[in-house]
Structure 1
Amino acid sequence: MTTRELRRVALDGELTIMTAAESKERLLTALPGSGGLRVDLAGVEEIDTAGLQVLLLTRREAESMSLPFELTAPAPGVAAVLALAGLTTAEEQ
């Protein structure tokens, strides 16, 4: 078995109810055929519960496929929301 690199997906702007459907599709379609997913949150300025749901769903789908899932580089405000939801970033692991 070969080791594949994590596929990097960068999100930016809002990760909110207004963008949840688009972000969900983008993240879930990136999983198949990858070695896992690294979601770069450096450009995310705002996140709400819909955005959290998208990240949690993507993590669950990655786990069901036995693929690694990482969140990286959130801004401080986004990191605080992630922490409240029990989501850790690659930098914290």
Structure 2
Amino acid sequence: MQVEDSYTVSLQGALNLRDAPAIREQLLAAIGEHEAVDLDLSGVESIDVALVQVLLAARKSADANGRILRLAPSPPGEACGVIFARCGLASDLWNSQETQG
């Protein structure tokens, strides 16, 4: 049985365009270094579309590199759930490679 190398990135507070570059770099570094990255959004108070784009790009990067980016806990907190719904994104979008088997 293979042990999964996982790492958790926890985001908190009100996140917007100003935060996007640093979060992008943090996520890409984690994806580059670990098999699986758990993204904890439970502490996020608000999020804008720029951050949604960063999260989707990170997810695409993880998939392209055979890595897993997943929400943990899932579903995300209310603030993220609202913006994901407004953007037409379902929470199962985040189940990444683990369900694509």
TM-score interval, normalised by the smaller of the two chains: 0.7 to 0.9
When structure 1 is superposed on structure 2, of 30-39 and 44-53 the one drifting more is: 30-39
1:26 paired residue number: 26
Alignment RMSD, CA only? 2.3
The unaligned stretches of length 5 or more in structure 2 are: none
1:69 paired residue number: 69
Kindly tell me the number of residue pairs found equivalent between the two proteins.
Answer: 92
The C-alpha deviation readout for 1:44-74, integer Å capped at 9, x for no partner, is 1111111101100100000001112112342
2:91 paired residue number: 88
1:37 paired residue number: 37
Question: Is the contact between residue 38 and residue 71 of structure 1 (CA under 8 Å) also seen in structure 2?
Answer: yes
Using the size of structure 2 for normalisation, the TM-score is 0.77
2:9 paired residue number: 9
When structure 1 is superposed on structure 2, of 30-39 and 54-63 the one drifting more is: 30-39
Using the size of structure 1 for normalisation, the TM-score is 0.83
The unaligned stretches of length 5 or more in structure 1 are: none
Superposed structure 1 runs of 4+ greater than 3 Å apart: none
How far the C-alpha of 1:16 sits from its partner, in A, is 1.0
Question: Is the contact between residue 49 and residue 83 of structure 2 (CA under 8 Å) also seen in structure 1?
Answer: no
* Secondary structure in 2 matching 1:61: helix
* Secondary structure in 1 matching 2:91: coil
